[in-house]
Amino acid sequence: MTTPGATVACPARTCPVCASGGQEEVFGPPAEVPAFCNWLYDDVPSARAATTGEVRLVVCRGCGHLFNAAHDEALLTYGAGYENSLHFS
């Protein structure tokens, strides 16, 4: 994570709302996180082998939009184990 308040350059990312290139990083965990939060695994070894990705939350200095500058759509492969129902929420 960069110094709070610093403007960071996201070479492959511009703001998806206003196309500005100046963002401030506000959160970045030290390790990668699971790419899916709602995938149902058959066993513990499968869950531990889950696809992971980086999170770098940045706020756009142009319009204030908050987004994950490290988002990698190639990591998202939906399949039968994906469960996102909201029946009981």
- Over its length of 89 residues, how does the chain's per-residue pLDDT go in tens digits? 444 444 444 444 789 899 888 888 898 887 888 888 788 888 999 989 988 888 889 999 999 999 998 888 888 777 777 777 777 76
Q: What angle do CA 71, 74, 75 make, to 5 degrees?
A: 75
Q: What's the pLDDT score for residue 43?
A: 93
* Separation between Cα atoms, residue 69 and residue 55, nearest integer Å: 7
Residue pointed to by tokens 């999170």: 55
Cβ-contact 61, 22 below 8 angstroms: yes
* Separation between Cα atoms, residue 85 and residue 77, nearest integer Å: 17
11: left (phi over 0), alpha (psi -120 to 50) or beta: alpha
Predicted model pTM: 0.63
